[in-house]
Amino acid sequence: MVTAYDAFHGRLLREAGIDIALVGDSLGMVVQGHDSTLPVTVSEMVYHTRMVSRGLRGAALLVSDMPFLSYQPSIEVAIKEAGRLVKEGGAQAVKLEGGKDYAPTVRALVSSMIPVIGHVGLLPQRVHAMGGFRVQGRNSSEGESILADARALAQAGVFALVVEGVPLELAKRITSEVAVPVIGIGAGPHTDGQVLVIHDLLGWTKEESLPRFVRPFSRGGKEAVRALSEFRREVENGGFPRESESYSEAGPENAPLPQ
> Any idea which residues carry the catalytic annotation?
164
The smaller minimum CB distance to ligand KIV, of residues 156 and 196, is found at 196
Minimum CB separation of residue 22 from ligand KIV in Å reads 6
- Region from 7-15, 23-31, 98-106, 169-177 binding ligand KIV, contact rule CB under 6 A: 23-31
Q: Is 157 exposed, middle or buried (0-12, 13-18, 19+ CB in 10 A)?
A: middle
Burial label for 117, CB within 10 Å (0-12, 13-18, 19+), is buried
> Three-class SS of residue 8?
helix
Write out the binding residues for ligand KIV, residues 155-214 only, by CB under 6 A: 162, 164, 185, 195, 197
Give min distance, CB of 136 to ligand KIV, in A: 14
Nearer to ligand KIV (CB atom), residue 103 or residue 122:
122
Min separation Cβ 64 and ligand KIV, Å: 10
Q: Estimate to the nearest angstrom the gap between the alpha carbon of 121 and the chain centroid.
A: 16
For residues 54-93, which are near ligand KIV according to CB under 6 A?
65
Residue 86 or 196: the one with the smaller Cβ distance to ligand KIV is 196
Task: Label residue 130 exposed, middle or buried (CB < 10 Å: 0-12, 13-18, 19+).
Answer: middle
State yes or no: residue 49 binds ligand KIV (CB under 6 A): no
Q: Name residues whose C-beta falls within 8 Å of residue 80's C-beta, 6 or more positions apart in sequence.
A: none
Neighbours of 224 (CB within 10 A): 13
Tell me whether residue 65 or residue 149 sits nearer to ligand KIV (CB atom). Answer: 65
Exposed/middle/buried for residue 233 (C-beta within 10 Å: 0-12, 13-18, 19+) = exposed
Question: Which run of H or E residues covers position 164?
Answer: strand 160-164
State the nearest-atom distance from the C-beta of 196 to ligand KIV, in Å: 8
Size of the site for ligand KIV (CB under 6 A): 11
Point out which residues bind ligand KIV (CB under 6 A).
Answer: 3, 22, 24-26, 65, 162, 164, 185, 195, 197
